[in-house]
Chain A
């Protein structure tokens, strides 16, 4: 069975994650409930003629994937697998608004073309002229992990040697307004936000895209090996520690083998309790990291976490801004990522040097 290596990464996020080394320009703005993307210069990657019909998410996906390919020093891949929770929601909103505003008349194709969830994967494939396997997972907060798991299995089983896998989501004004109404976004009266010690409900939201080139061979650009990915749609708080112990056990690891734990604290006290439980108990002596104060919450925010963890393993440096506790280790060889959204769609990803 082949191993799966992360050989290239690319990330567009609400931080400057392009043209930088590793979060050295990151800013924790705790006075916003919704973080917006810091856009790269799209023209450097996409011709104006092509980009004029592209939704924000599509452009970010193309740039993130281009960065990952360049980082891995490869020009094409055998497959493209994308994860997205809401797809190109901005164009979906536009299309639906047009239907209502124009009494179901005068509908033009542009927004509709862009509103499908698999547009990102399709446009990347068109750009690369990649005619291989192309699949988009839309599985809520485990969309990216579903894509990652698929990619890992294909490489393990020799179905592909190199795969571009990524997670991408964008915010849309109307969707965010609905999330606010539903209490999913933190109320502004609860600002400034203290993500790690929040006592209020609602999360800080964001958007972004991260892509990875996975290959079966280790090479000079390698960041880390993807050891395992597991998904659990429902878990009770009382089950979380046993679940993680079992996950580690299947990989012949114990809690003490984990050099850093990446947790998805998003400021929603109602569901951050899952992270609190393991951070205060089983992993109390483990270096803990968080990231959604930088990336914001979105269905595929865990792709940002994998980008961050891969960088840590490669550079052996942890930016101060992502440290959730002061515990350090002499080396960061094995990192566990745990994510969930609103107490559902739990995922565990294990990577190692």
Chain B
């Protein structure tokens, strides 16, 4: 689980071009959107693609995203429980 969290932080920084942000800057429970990392709706689409492409998870209900993408912790938990690759 710890390795997955680090992997996710890395992917998010690289995919979303988060300049000046390192893995250490993102706490597991920091909100990804809003006041936390400050991600927006375009980033949400990027995260959906990461789930699909890298972990084989297709989000059918967009409302689910709000809970899944709350933090690195919630993302990692969802991926661990639902990944197909």
Instruction: Using CB atoms and an 8 Å cutoff, list the residues of chain A in contact with chain B.
Output: 48-49, 51-53, 102, 105-110, 113
User: Closest chain A residue to B47 by CB distance?
Assistant: A108
Give chain B residues whose Cβ lies under 8 Å from the Cβ of A51.
19
Give chain B residues whose Cβ lies under 8 Å from the Cβ of A110.
42, 46
Is B17 in contact with chain A by the CB < 8 A criterion?
A: yes
Would B17 and A108 count as touching, CB distance under 8 A?
A: no
Would A49 and B46 count as touching, CB distance under 8 A?
A: no
The number of chain B residues touching the other chain, given as a range, is: 10 to 19
Give chain A residues whose Cβ lies under 8 Å from the Cβ of B45.
108-109
Q: How far apart are the CA atoms of A110 and B41 in the complex, in Å?
A: 11
**A-B contacts, CB under 8 A, total:** 25
Would A52 and B18 count as touching, CB distance under 8 A?
A: yes
Q: B17: which of A52, A102, A107, A113 is its contact (CB, 8 Å)?
A: A52
* A-contact 0/1 string along B23-61, CB 8 Å cutoff: 000000000000000100010011001001100000000
What are 13 A-B pairs at a CB distance below 8 A?
Answer: A48-B19, A48-B20, A52-B17, A53-B42, A102-B53, A105-B52, A106-B52, A106-B53, A108-B45, A108-B46, A108-B49, A109-B42, A109-B45
User: Closest chain B residue to A53 by CB distance?
Assistant: B17
Distance (whole angstroms) from the CB of A186 to the closest CB of chain B: 33
Q: How far apart are the CA atoms of A51 and B21 in the complex, in Å?
A: 13
User: Closest chain B residue to A48 by CB distance?
Assistant: B19
Q: How far apart are the CA atoms of A158 and B45 in the complex, in Å?
A: 45
Question: A109-B42, A110-B42 given as contacts; is B49 within 8 A of A52 (CB)?
Answer: no
Would A52 and B42 count as touching, CB distance under 8 A?
A: no
Highest count of chain B CB atoms <10 Å: which of A51, A53, A107: A53
Distance (whole angstroms) from the CB of B15 to the closest CB of chain A: 8
